[in-house]
Structures are given as structure tokens and as C-alpha cells.
Amino acid sequence: MFKLKNKTALVHMIKDSVKAVLPVALIILVLCFTVAPVDISSFTSFIFGSVMIVFGMALFSLGAEMSMTPMGEYVGAQMTKSKKIWLIIILSFLVGFMITMSEPDLQILAEYAPSIDKNVIVYSVSAGVGAFLVVAMLRIVFGIKLKYLLMGFYAVVFVLAFFVSPDFWAIAFDSGGVTTGPMTVPFIMALGVGVASIRYDSKGGGDSFGLVALCSVGPIVAVLVLGLVMGSEGGQGESFNVSEFESSRDFALHYLKELPHYFKEIALALLPIVAFFFIYQLLVKPLSKKHLTKILIGVVYTYLGLVLFLTGANVGFMPVGNLLGQYLGSTSYSFIAVPIGMIIGFFIVAAEPAVQILQKQVEDVTSGAIPKKALGFALEIGVAISVGIAILRALTGISIMYPILIGYAIAFILSFFVPDIFTSIAFDSGGVASGPMTACFLLPFAMGICEATGNNIVTDAFGTVAMVAMTPLIAIQILGVAYKIKLKKAETSALPDIVDEVVELSNSAEISTDDKARVIDLNATASAAYIDDEIIEF
């Protein structure tokens, strides 16, 4: 029965993956056949890579649901039950450091970052995530408002940036986006749910969001401090290498050569956190053999899924993204790359593995009060705008600090006009949206444009991930403004309180089974009759 359920779930995940990847693949195919032709080697590699991404995303999504999510919830709940602040601090730092150290997106960024040793960047950024995961956990424990913490930390970021060489700005803000990737997000988000689940106040559910947002600040601070200490220029950066194949055998050998690298990389990424979990549960409260077996199977799915996904993205998508950027950047109509990038950005966010996890958690915690469809549409619009800004920067050389300052100013202003949960989800979504698809396609695309136009890759191409991480902060909160306006216009004054009651009661450990059943029925009625039909209509 267990295997049958897994098989059915996998088929469902594959269908969802096809729906997510197919629009992006079709757009790229149309470009390759029309305005931006590429060599047959890169084209064939792209097709094969797309297939690998579909199956990889499906396996990863199923595996994360079976392993990373329950592992995170368990660790979060158990270490908070201890009520020992020193233990929470130590464990939070270790978890943040270990899970970030081999984050695949971070490896990609560190590989192309100039003038800084790759290991220095990886260790510095991992320490930054660990430190800010401690802050995020303590925030949940003590119930501190997220927006005030974010305002304070980003104020420190912008002040610090003006003492650092501009060559470090884009890489610093990019590092905040790439560290919240497919390895980090499932575990850290579930960690927040686990910690919030043992809180007995009314805001525990809403406070489970925000961990990803705070963990995105740590790497920015870490890289800026690194730039301050080093005090050196970033240079031009490395050009992207595109492989060419003389035969089908060369093509197959190229993929076979790359696969062992990703098998090793993902093993190193998963091993520390899996080992930590199994040792921790043995010391604290051993789980049943059935639960451990399910988690182990989920880890295997996650492992295989990430290997397939990253191999397909890096080997198949990267070369085509770079070549398309070079071709469009070298033409007399190079600004057509802006709308093309926006269209790709609109669809590519759906192909990010961690986005699916965020949408599911939002629906679970809010009991469907924030519809998945509305959240997804807001993310797509936000990412489309951000990619347009990123491509415009690659073409013109506009400093990253201008859009970043304006964007975050708007986001923080909006935070005073929306419910706190929308602010938390918005800042989480920024880190989630800037995942491996952004790093493996959009960043090489911007790098190709910079190479063709002669602009600086470090200052003008880097920053693409940062742009993708920024605009969802605004888009999701605008969704929150629309939600709040609709609530005020509603005739029934009791219904707005239902959403809050559902979040409060569904996260309370003290209510009875009958009360929970009543809340679920009440929420189902309210969500179906009120939220979906009248509040948010897309």
C-alpha cells in the first residue's frame, strides 16, 4: 500500500512538473528556432536537460514532503520543548551552517564569483545563515514582530554597503537569494512550523513564516563584511564555458561525466543534515521504525531528484541561457531581451522546486484562506518585473543599489498596511523564488548579454538573483492590500475574524478534537463561500 501511494503521488508530481517546465521550454524552443539560433550541441543538451528537470523536480517534491518537512518539524518542536535558550541557539546555528554549506545554488554563485576563494564564500555565507537562523528561531520563541527585525537588519546592510567596494554589492545580494534554495527551504520552513506548533498564543501559526526571510539577510551581511575585510576590487569575472559535441557519443559521455560530480555534491549536501537528524532523534525521542523508514525513502527520492534536477539545469539550461543572452545582446534590437526575459521570468518561477513547498505551507497554515492560485500569480508577476529590471541592468550597467533601495523601501512601507502574515510570506517568497532555475538559466542569460555588450559581468550580470528575490516582496504585499480592502467592504463583519481564529486554533495544542472539527468546518465554509468567490478573484 505504501509503495502504491508513492507511485500514485509520483505520477501526480510528474504531471505537475511537466506543467511547470513545459511553458519555459517552449518559449526557449521558439527563440532557438527564430530570433536566437543556437548550435545543435547546446540545443540537444537543452532538450535532454529539460526531461531530467521534469523527473528531478517530481522526485524532489515527493522526497521533500516525505523527509525534509517531517525532519524539520520534528527538530523544531523538540528543541523548543526543551525551553533551553542555549540549546536552541547552538542547534539552530549548526543546522543553518550544515544545510547551507553545500547548497547547490551557492556552489554555482561561488564558482563564478571573482577574486574570492570559493571555499571562503561558502563558509562565510553558511555562517551568516546559521547566525540569522538563530535570530529567526528566537523571534518565534519570544514572538517578536518580523518587520521590525527586517527593517533594522536591512538598515545595517545598506549602511555597511556604502563602506564596501561596489564590486561586492551584486554578489552580496545574490548570495541572500541563492542560499534559500531546494536544500534549505523545505527544512527551514518546516523547522519554523515545528517551533510555532508548541506556542499557545494566537500568533504562532503566522510566526512560523519568516525564517527564510531572516536567513536571506545573513549571507548579505557576511559577504559585505568579507568585502570590507578584503577591501579589494571584484574584477571582471569569468566568462561562461559552453561545451560542443562532435557526436552523440560525446554528448552521452558529457552527461555521464557530469553525473558523478552531482552525485557527490548532493551527497555532501544531504549527509550532514540527515546524520544530524538521526543522531538527534536517538538522543531526544526516538521515532518509530515506520516513520524512520518513510523518512529514509524520502531522503533517497530527494537525493535522486536533486541530482537529476541540477544536472539537467546546469548542463542543459546553462549553455542555452548564456548563448541566447550573447545573441540577443549583440543584435541591433538588443532591448528585445527585456520583454523576452520578463516572459521567461513569469513562467520560470513555477518551475522552482521550493515554490511548491511555500504554496503548500501557506495553504496549510492559513487553512486555505490565502489561495494557492492567487499566491502563485502574484509571484509570477513579481518575478517577471524583476527579470525585466535585471536584463535592463545587464544592457545599461545601472548600479544594483538604485532598484534595491527603491524596492525594499516600497516593501517596508507596504508592511504597515497589510496583515503581518502577508509580510512574513512576502519576505519568505523572495528567497524561495530565487532558486536553481534562476541561478542556472537567468544568471547565464544576463552574463551572455554582458559579454556581448562589453559590460562588467560582476556588477551588471550578478544581481539577477537579487532582483528576483526582491519584487515578490512587493507583489505579495499588494495581494495583502487587496485582501484587506475586500475584507473591509464585506457585509459580514464576523467573517474576517474567522481567518485569524482558524490560524490561531489550528496551531493551538490545547483545543479539543471537537473544537478542531468545528473550526475546520467553519473555515471550509468561509473559504469556499467568501474568500475564493469574493475576496480574491483571478
pLDDT, tens digit, for every residue of 388-416?
A: 999 999 999 999 999 999 999 999 999 99
**Cα separation of 203 and 196, whole Å?**
9
As a dihedral over the C-alpha atoms of residue 173, residue 117, residue 186, residue 265, rounded to 10 degrees, the angle is 150
What pLDDT is recorded for position 208?
A: 64
- Residues 423-479: tens digit of each pLDDT: 888 888 887 787 777 777 888 899 999 989 988 888 899 899 899 989 889 988 888
Q: Distance between alpha carbon 11 and the CA centroid of its chain, in Å?
A: 24
Is pLDDT above 50 for 533?
A: no
pLDDT range class, residue 78, cuts 50, 70, 90: confident
Is pLDDT above 90 for 487?
A: no
What pLDDT is recorded for position 530?
A: 34
What pLDDT is recorded for position 295?
A: 92
What pLDDT is recorded for position 198?
A: 59
Q: What is the mean pLDDT of residues 43-57?
A: 90
**Cα separation of 66 and 293, whole Å?**
10
Q: What is the mean pLDDT of residues 221-236?
A: 76
Which set of grid coordinates corresponds to residue 58? 517530481
What pLDDT is recorded for position 535?
A: 34
What pLDDT is recorded for position 201?
A: 52
Cβ atoms of 507 and 472 closer than 8 Å: no
Buried b (16+ CB within 10 A) or exposed e, 46-77: bebbbebbbbbbbbbbbbbbbbbbbbbbbbbb
Cβ atoms of 474 and 411 closer than 8 Å: yes
Q: Cα–Cα–Cα angle for 325, 354, 9, nearest 5°?
A: 120
Question: Residue 450 burial (CB < 10 Å; 0-12/13-18/19+)?
Answer: buried
Cβ atoms of 446 and 391 closer than 8 Å: yes
Q: Which residue has the cell 528576483?
A: 468
What pLDDT is recorded for position 515?
A: 47
**Cα separation of 318 and 306, whole Å?**
16
Q: What is the mean pLDDT of residues 237-245?
A: 61
Q: How far is CA 338 from CA 301, 378, 465, in A?
A: 37, 20, 16
Is pLDDT above 60 for 99?
A: yes
DSSP letter at 116 equals S
**Cα separation of 309 and 317, whole Å?**
11
More confident position, 278 or 494: 278
Q: Which of 266-275, 345-354, 485-494, 504-513 has the lowest mean pLDDT?
A: 504-513
Mean of all residue pLDDT scores within the chain: 80
User: Residue 208 contacts by C-beta under 8 Å, 6 or more apart in sequence?
Assistant: 140, 189, 192, 193, 195, 196, 197, 361, 365, 507
Q: Which of 230-239, 359-368, 465-474 has the lowest mean pLDDT?
A: 230-239
Backbone angles phi, psi at 330, to 5 degrees: -95, -5
Is pLDDT above 70 for 528?
A: no
pLDDT range class, residue 102, cuts 50, 70, 90: low
Q: Distance between alpha carbon 231 and the CA centroid of its chain, in Å?
A: 30
Q: What is the mean pLDDT of residues 259-264?
A: 88
Report CA Rg, the chain.
22
Q: Which of 361-365, 403-407, 532-536 has the lowest mean pLDDT?
A: 532-536
Per-domain residue ranges for the chain? 81-228+272-291+319-489, 492-538
What pLDDT is recorded for position 237?
A: 52
Distance from the first to the final alpha carbon of the chain: 38
**Cα separation of 392 and 408, whole Å?**
19
Q: What is the mean pLDDT of residues 224-237?
A: 71
Q: What is the mean pLDDT of residues 267-280?
A: 87
Q: What is the mean pLDDT of residues 130-136?
A: 92
Note the pTM of the prediction, 2 decimals.
0.77
